[in-house]
């Protein structure tokens, strides 16, 4: 009888032990923790937005700066020798708040110029004749591209910096990263008053035939504008086609050449592609 009782109750005890251990013991791996969090979300203990933020924070702890930085080719810099009449139109157009200042060599980072330091030029245009960038630049915060994002976020908070210049193992400039870039990995894309609303445009014409395109543009509209012939049988949007072509969720700056175009990811977060730069490839001779 005792043997029968033991056999009939041991599965119950085993199941209860597993449940108790799952909820009372500390998760021993990242996978265990994620499983626990998703279980809590399914039971309504955590809302989906909170779960997304926690997932993003966990991803940040495993990522490096090279994963999120703005590549060097897409950096907007100002030469130390430039005069206000040369760089003010650029600053006004792109509406950034901070700009790396470089010497004659692009790898020579002299410092960072804050747009707010240029306000006196607006109030008194005569100051432009006496303006010297070297008198207004702030020290640059230099970091290696292998730095972990959670460590970078701590440094940003401790040093009150908002931008870091990223260098590679040889000391050359690899790109830049901002505190907003790190935070967007946690909470998703952060839009401010200078960002363009989703309904404002689908395709923006730039120079030399290059366009910036909303990734959620319907394929039919993309084909109509670019006179292309991408299929819309499997996907409805350009984002779907590109995700299939990349084979993964691409990071900002990643490129793919396909069907006569070069697609460069301009904006993306941990969940989706947002903006893409589209450039026609030279016709094969």
Asked whether the predicted pLDDT for residue 139 surpasses 90, the reply is yes
> For 17-21, 114-118, 147-151, 229-233, which range has the lowest pLDDT when averaged over its residues?
17-21
Q: Specify the domain boundaries for CATH 3.10.580.10 within the chain.
A: 66-187
Q: 181-184: which pairs have CB atoms within 8 A and are 24 or more residues apart?
A: 181/68, 181/69, 181/70, 182/60, 182/68, 182/149, 182/152, 182/153, 182/156, 183/153, 184/269
Alpha-carbon dihedral 157, 142, 103, 111, rounded to 10 degrees: 20
DSSP 8-state symbol, 197: P
Residues 6+ apart with CB under 8 A from 166: 65, 66, 69, 143, 144, 145, 173, 174, 175, 176, 177
Q: What percent of the chain has pLDDT over 90?
A: 27
Spatial contact of 51 and 37, defined as CB atoms under 8 Å apart: yes
Q: Is the pLDDT of residue 12 over 50?
A: no
| Pairing of β 273-280 and β 261-268 | antiparallel
Task: For residue 73, give the DSSP letter.
Answer: G
The structure tokens 């909303």 sit at: 214
Q: Which of 6-15, 43-52, 71-80, 255-264 has the highest mean pLDDT?
A: 255-264
Question: Is the pLDDT confidence value at 8 over 50?
Answer: no
Task: Answer whether CATH 3.20.20.70 is correct for domain 203-280.
Answer: no
Judge whether residue 3 has pLDDT over 80: no
pLDDT computed for residue 28 by the predictor: 67
Work out the mean pLDDT of the chain and round it to a whole number. 80
Backbone phi, psi, residue 228, to 5° = -105, 180
More confident residue, 224 or 6: 224
Locate 112 and state its tokens: 């960072």
Q: What is the pLDDT of residue 173?
A: 93
First to last CA, the chain: 88
Q: Is pLDDT of 97 > 60?
A: yes
Which of the residue ranges 58-67, 102-111, 121-130, 171-180 would you say has the lowest mean pLDDT? 121-130
**How many residues are present in the chain?**
285
pLDDT at 261: 93
| pLDDT confidence bin for 4, thresholds 50/70/90 | very low
Global pTM value = 0.58
Architecture of domain 66-187 in CATH? Roll (3.10)
The reported pLDDT for the residue numbered 23 is 53
More confident residue, 285 or 142: 142
Among 108-112, 218-222, 266-270, whose mean pLDDT is lowest?
Answer: 266-270
Do residues 103 and 82 touch, judged by C-beta distance below 8 A? no
**19-77 pLDDT per residue, tens:** 455 555 566 676 777 777 777 777 777 777 777 777 777 777 788 998 888 888 778 89
Range(s) within the chain of domains with CATH label 3.30.465.10? 203-280
Contact 82, 133 (CB under 8 A): yes
pLDDT of residue 189: 63
């Amino acid at each position: 009888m005792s043997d029968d009782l033991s056999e009939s109750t041991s599965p119950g005890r085993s199941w209860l032990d597993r449940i108790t251990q799952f909820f009372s013991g500390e998760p021993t791996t990242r996978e265990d923790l994620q499983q626990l969090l998703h279980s809590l979300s399914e039971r309504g203990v955590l809302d989906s937005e909170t779960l997304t933020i926690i997932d993003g924070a966990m991803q940040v702890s495993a990522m490096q700066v090279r994963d999120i930085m703005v590549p060097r080719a897409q950096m907007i810099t100002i030469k130390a020798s430039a005069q206000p009449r040369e760089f003010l139109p650029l600053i006004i157009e792109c509406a950034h708040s901070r700009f790396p200042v470089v010497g004659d060599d692009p790898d020579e980072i002299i410092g960072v110029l804050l747009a707010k330091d240029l306000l006196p030029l607006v109030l008194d245009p005569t100051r432009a004749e006496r303006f010297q960038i070297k008198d207004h630049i702030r020290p640059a915060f230099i970091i290696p591209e292998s730095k972990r994002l959670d460590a970078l976020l701590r440094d940003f908070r401790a040093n009150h910096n908002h931008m870091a210049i990223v260098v590679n193992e040889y000391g050359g400039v690899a790109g830049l990263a901002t505190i907003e870039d790190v935070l967007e990995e946690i909470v998703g894309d952060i839009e401010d008053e200078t960002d363009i609303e989703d309904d404002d445009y689908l395709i923006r014409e730039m120079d030399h035939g290059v366009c910036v395109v909303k990734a959620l543009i319907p394929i039919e509209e993309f084909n109509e504008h670019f006179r292309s012939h991408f299929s819309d049988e499997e996907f409805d949007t350009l984002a779907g086609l590109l995700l299939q072509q990349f084979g993964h969720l691409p990071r900002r700056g990643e490129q793919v050449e396909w069907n006569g175009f070069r697609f460069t990811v301009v904006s993306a977060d941990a969940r989706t592609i947002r903006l893409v730069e589209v450039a026609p490839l030279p016709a094969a001779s």
